[in-house]
Amino acid sequence: MAVVEITNPSNPQLVRNIVSISSQWHDVKVFQDKCYLVSEGGGGILIYDLANVDNGQVPQVGQVTSGGTTATHNVAIDEVSGFLYRAGGDSNGLRIYNLNQSLTNPPLVASWSTRYVHDVQVVTYTSGPYAGRQIAFACSGFNGGFTQTGLDVLDVTNKSNIQVLANRTYSGGAYSHQGWLSPDRQYFYLNDELDESNSQPTRTIVFNVGNINNPQLAS
């Protein structure tokens, strides 16, 4: 993991290069002044302190290995609710940790393993008909993501009772890889990693998620 100072984009400065687990796949997210690094190679969640990053100091301050295998494909954080989500790693769906309880040793509070999750975005709605609800938009599928690949919309507000609001697939799907919400949260843009192998051009699959209980393919 490289920590780079980019205030002047034309002159980026390497602050620190952190040698981590040997793997082709890593992901990292920041919450407050902490940095959370995961890898398919294992290690669980490696936690670094960014409080003194301006002085070139990025010490490791924690490591969390609860939740079964220590491998993780991606990590997501809902910054409003303060929960961290590990996605993938082996055949895992989501593993959920409470950063409100501890930034350096967050406890595992729940998991969802109905389907494999390759990547996820989790948001807390603060206005409108879904205000107060924490919703996960998961790029998912069975058989490691290859079977019935698509989008799961989950209500993760109650960690002990996660609800599947909707599951959607799309024609020519090969492997639902990653996606992101539009700023107004009306659309979810999903990319398929392998659909080009079906002799079709690269696509972005757009879902209308204005109604989280009934997403519709938009384009």
The CA distance from 90 to 78, in Å, is: 23
Tell whether the model's pLDDT for residue 213 goes beyond 90: yes
Alpha-carbon dihedral of residues 18, 69, 100, 19, nearest 10 degrees?
A: 0
Q: How confident is the model at residue 188 (pLDDT cuts 50, 70, 90)?
A: very high
Tell whether the model's pLDDT for residue 198 goes beyond 80: no
Q: Which amino acid is at 133?
A: R
Helix (H) or strand (E) run with residue 181 in it: strand 176-181
Q: What is the pLDDT of residue 200?
A: 75
The CA distance from 61 to 172, in Å, is: 45
Q: How confident is the model at residue 48 (pLDDT cuts 50, 70, 90)?
A: very high
Q: Which two tokens stand for residue 7?
A: 């205030």
- Nearest 5°: the CA angle 51, 57, 60 is 80
pLDDT digits (tens, 9 = 90+) for 51-92: 999 999 999 999 999 999 999 999 999 999 999 999 999 889
pLDDT digits (tens, 9 = 90+) for 32-45: 999 999 999 999 99
Assign 138 to helix, strand or coil: strand
Q: Which two tokens stand for residue 193?
A: 């990693």
